[in-house]
Amino acid sequence: MSFFTSCRATFFRKNIQGKIINISSVVGKEAMPKYAAYSASKFAIIGFTQALALELAPYQINVNAVCPSLVDTERVTQLVNTLSENDEQFKDKYVELLQNRSGLVPLGRLATRTDVANIVSFLASEQSNFLTGLAIPVAGGSMVH
């Protein structure tokens, strides 16, 4: 935490406007069974984001979080294969999701790295200058509140 405090002090001294973008997870917005520690850590990132947004707003520093759902990457595929070794039902559900037959993601697919990067790019741009303290889900409509 002292490193972060030192970084903030530099912003204040130099009167630099800026953006801070944290990465959390949809599990930080809505807990998931069997993932208590992971959920808690992601909830903490969102709480930290909100508190920091209020603290840094007078300095024109925007603080937001991006909350991706499951992102279709090689790592996820490896994880699914590992988990599927002992749970064929798990693999079937995952395959169903990927084949667009599941109602879990209304847009019909998992998030991609590009989907997440696009939200980060938007938050880093001047177009988001009036947004702060948000935790934005990148979840294809699976988190509609």
Phi/psi of residue 22, nearest 5 degrees: -95, 150
- Could you give the C-alpha distances from 64 to 20, 22, 48, 103, 116, in angstroms and in order? 6, 6, 10, 28, 13
- Among 35, 38, 59, 94, the active-site one is 38
Q: Residue 38 catalytic? A: yes
Residues with catalytic function: 38
